[in-house]
Structure 1
């Protein structure tokens, strides 16, 4: 019988509830952004606010889980999925609105979906928690998307787009590099699991 602390923590806890709440905010965010339709009005600001609150719950649920010992296998899997749903929906919506190149969205989504599927494939050998590089990737992606979402063109002009573009380029590089790292981790985990 395993003595892993993650098996003794109840799945139904505040940290996991915040993760689920973040998932439920995704459709609301999409609706606000679609309703604005590129007009940079009230719905755009509501989309920005929803995105900001959802991202804050990501930090909050992680802090709570660590400080209160509420880390669960469900949280390890659901948390990155919630991040991917939020980030992915934002990227797709920005591309649909013509504000972000589709190829950037496609590269990031292929990496995110590929790593998520890989997690499920190797889950019988062990759970792959988010790495530091993966967390950095999420932070940089979040900042880049947030800048793209903010209707700053009226104040900053073309600078607003360039700031977002530089951040998105950094996010793209980190996304690809950490994707390769996760693949290497999965291979090691699978080999170790087969030997065990």
Structure 2
């Protein structure tokens, strides 16, 4: 039996958490430890397992796009999806940054990892917790940042410097290209984070100005 709202018309039935987008999001979360393990087999020197890790990362990035498209197209947006989807995204990219920092093991890669993870998880936790009265839509720079991260991390997951023979030079070229893309992603991570916090401050300031206590 359908419920009715204040106007007497039938209210839409709540969306069940048991749907395809949420299943894909859950799958992405489950992939994280498998990706991390495959990436770090033999300290990251295993060509075969690095390729497996790249495949897992690619599937995760594809499901990230697919589950969002399905949820919006079929109106399958749920509270679980709102919480789990960003967590899944940050978990797989966070694992990639940490795993690659362990493999590359340079100060600049660790610095990049710390800066990116602090920004990503701070923004995510704010979106899920204290910003209930503030809605900050995803900026274009944030979308480009996400794409740049996916490309850069995906390429670096491949064993580009572990191959020999005729793949040696192409591997080094692609590795350099991947570092450039990752550098662009880091810049966009910082700028989009600044834009996010600026918008949060602006909206919260407007809310305070409009509050009844402020008008007294």
> What band does the TM-score fall into relative to the shorter chain?
0.7 to 0.9
1:79 Cα deviation (Å)?
1.6
Aligned length: 194
Pick one of 67, 77, 95 that aligns with 1:71.
77
Moved more, 137-146 or 182-191: 182-191
Give how far 1:124 is off. Answer: 2.7
Once the two structures are overlaid, the 10-residue window that deviates more, 84-93 or 34-43, is 34-43
- Note closer, same or farther for the CA distance 1:143–1:150 as it changes in structure 2 (3 Å cut): same
Mapped partners of 1:157, 1:119: distance in 2: 39
Q: Hey, what does 1:105 align to over in structure 2?
A: 113
Question: Relative to 1, partners in 2 of residues 1:137 and 1:88: Cα closer, same or farther, differing over 3 Å?
Answer: same
Structure 1 residues 181 and 12, CA, compared in 2 at 3 Å: closer, same or farther? farther
Q: 1:171 aligns with which of 159, 181, 185?
A: 185
Q: How far does residue 46 in structure 1 lie from its aligned partner after superposition?
A: 1.1
* 2:41 is the counterpart of 1:27: no
Which ranges in structure 2 are unaligned for 5 or more consecutive residues?
Answer: 212-216
TM-score normalized by structure 2?
0.79
Q: 1:184 aligns with which of 198, 201, 212?
A: 198
Q: Does the residue aligned with 2:183 lie in a helix, a strand or coil? A: helix
Residue from 130, 143, 158 that aligns with 1:135 = 143
2:60 paired residue number:
54
Identify the residue that residue 13 of structure 1 maps to in structure 2: 19
Spell out, residue by residue over 1:120-156, the C-alpha distance to the aligned partner (whole angstroms, 9 max, x if none): 3433315545443322211110100011111233321
- Give 1:184 deviation, angstroms: 2.0
Structure 1 residue 74 displacement after superposition: 3.3
Deviation at 1:69, TM superposition (A): 1.3
1:41-78 CA-partner distances (Å, limit 9, x unpaired): 22111111111111110011011112111123432332
Q: Which residue in the other structure is 1:124 paired with?
A: 132
Contact 1:76/1:130 (8 A) holds in 2? no
2: CA distance, partners of 1:134 / 1:152: 28
Structure 1 CA distance for aligned equivalents of residues 179 and 190 of structure 2: 17
Aligned alpha-carbon RMSD (Å)? 2.6
Q: Deviation of residue 165 (structure 1)?
A: 1.0
Pair 181,77 (structure 1): closer, same or farther in 2 beyond 3 Å: farther
How high is the TM-score relative to the length of structure 1? 0.86
Contact 1:6-1:72 within 8 A present in 2 as well: no
Higher mean Cα deviation, 153-162 or 101-110? 153-162
